[in-house]
Amino acid sequence: MINNEENNKRRITGSESAAVKSSPSTLAVKAPIRRYIILGERRSSNFWWACIVLLGSLGFLLSGISAYNGFNIIPFLNAKDVAFFPQGLLMSFYGSLGFLLSFYWWFLIFWNVGGGFNEFNKKDGFIRIFRWGYPGKNRRIDLSYSLKDVEAIKVELKQGSIAFGDPSQRTIYLKLKGKREIPLTGIGEPLTLKEIEKQASELANFLQVSLEGL
């Protein structure tokens, strides 16, 4: 009887350990697919600056129109204090320019230009790079490469000068056979040095290739 009870306990323990090994959480950790989302133009900073430019340009434009017509479109502005030439004319010009710029910016956000994802699929043996472009022929940019063509993950660090309008650039490249280099980081998406190092090392380990540039 004691031997039978011990055998039953061993069976139960064995079945429980098998269930833990095949649990969804364990399988998810070992999933052979990794995907990185690229934000593109739909970043919080772009929403902020697009709103600022739109409101500022509307203020300039309405001030110029008020100076031309001689009545106050904006309550807190006295049109009689602003001469149409040259102040009102310049305000109308800069307001129109800013209004067009803000519209263009909002269209970029709506289209999410540069947004997409990088997918690394070890299960099917391919890499997929997807980006949203401008409306038209190149609206959907969908590229696929074989994992066998990957030679390395390359990191390029360029120190710039903010004072001269040349910010630092940190880019991760997918290095393929034939000396082809495909950028993986988004345009205008600044990453810290720590984030670049972490993402590049994760990719190199996941794809089991060498890491260059660090």
Tens of pLDDT, residues 20-46: 333 333 233 457 899 999 989 999 999
Is 173 a member of any domain? Answer: yes
Answer with the one of 80, 111, 142 that is the final residue of a domain: 111
Answer with the one of 111, 127, 143 that is the final residue of a domain: 111
Same domain, 123 and 100: no
76-120: per-residue pLDDT in tens?
777 677 778 888 899 999 999 999 999 999 999 999 999 999 999
Is 191 a member of any domain? Answer: yes
**Token pair 């509307």 in the structure block, residue:** 58
Count, residues in the chain? 214
Least confident range from 73-87, 147-161, 165-179: namely 73-87
Structural domain of 200? 118-212
116-146: per-residue pLDDT in tens?
999 999 999 999 999 999 999 999 999 999 9
Same domain, 58 and 136: no
∠ at Cα 207 (199, 125), nearest 5°? 130
